[in-house]
Amino acid sequence: MRRVVPLLGIALLATAGDGIRPRGAASDYPAHQDEKAVTIAAAVLTQDQIRKIFGGDVGRRYMVVEVAVYPNPAFEVDTFDFRLKDTDGDLTRPEKPRDVAEVWAEKDPKPGGGPTVINEAGVIYETGRDPVTGQRRSGVGTYDATTVTNDPRAQQPPAPRSNPDAYAIAAKLHDFALPEGRTRDAVAGYLYFPKPSKKGKAVELRHSRDDASAILSLPVK
């Protein structure tokens, strides 16, 4: 019998984070473009900026793009509407913050004979706004679960490496992500794209929704 016991698991619930404070104007970003009901602005974070904000290995595997949305008068923000075009012409969509946090996951255990018992124990971090009062609320809880399976493909749940800051980094990835939903106010946050295989001097951030679109050429430092 093979027994898998992760030391710590981090679950980020579907509730969207608050993002970051948008800059004073769209023109304060390296690139911006108007659409029918919105102005999109963006900047690519440098490796030093990513390291200072998140630490860990985020910058080694992901390109982090700061995106600001200035609605006119209102706009529905959906991260699925964004794509990144690299120097090879490949288009990718941003990944969810909880998927990005898996850069700290331990290597999957090798399959072995007999049933697998997976014990999960970890922390649940929840943040959002109260639907009644509109006030921001957050909370931290714990969970544990046990699963028994004969499936040889059974894998250990994602768990941070032995890093005391792993929980804080995962929470930042979630909280600082571009907020989604309808808004009348300017909002900003980060999008996490898989890092292009080749480094170029610029990439294109593309946004399209309904019959409107924008293409922003962003310098990469």
Which residues, in sequence order, are CB contacts of 14 under 8 Å at separation 6+?
none
Beta strands in 19-87 (DSSP E): 31-34, 38-44, 62-71, 75-77, 82-85
Q: Which backbone phi and psi does 170 adopt, to 5 degrees?
A: -60, -40
Per-residue pLDDT of the chain (221 residues; tens, 9 = 90+): 444 334 344 444 444 568 999 999 999 999 999 999 999 999 999 999 999 999 878 999 999 999 999 999 999 999 999 999 998 899 999 999 988 887 655 434 444 555 665 555 555 555 666 666 666 666 655 556 666 666 555 555 444 444 547 788 889 999 999 999 999 999 999 999 999 988 889 999 999 998 899 999 999 99
What is the C-alpha to C-alpha distance for residues 127 and 171, in angstroms, rounded to an integer? 9
**CA 119 to each of CA 1, 8, 151, 156: distance values in angstroms, whole numbers, following the listed order:** 13, 11, 15, 9
Q: What is the pLDDT of residue 17?
A: 66
Q: What is the pLDDT of residue 168?
A: 85
Q: Of 43, 6, 38, 17, which is closest to residue 28 (Cα–Cα)? A: 43
The pTM for the full model equals 0.70
Q: What is the pLDDT of residue 15?
A: 44
The answer to whether 76 touches 188, Cβ cutoff 8 Å, is: no
DSSP state of 98: H
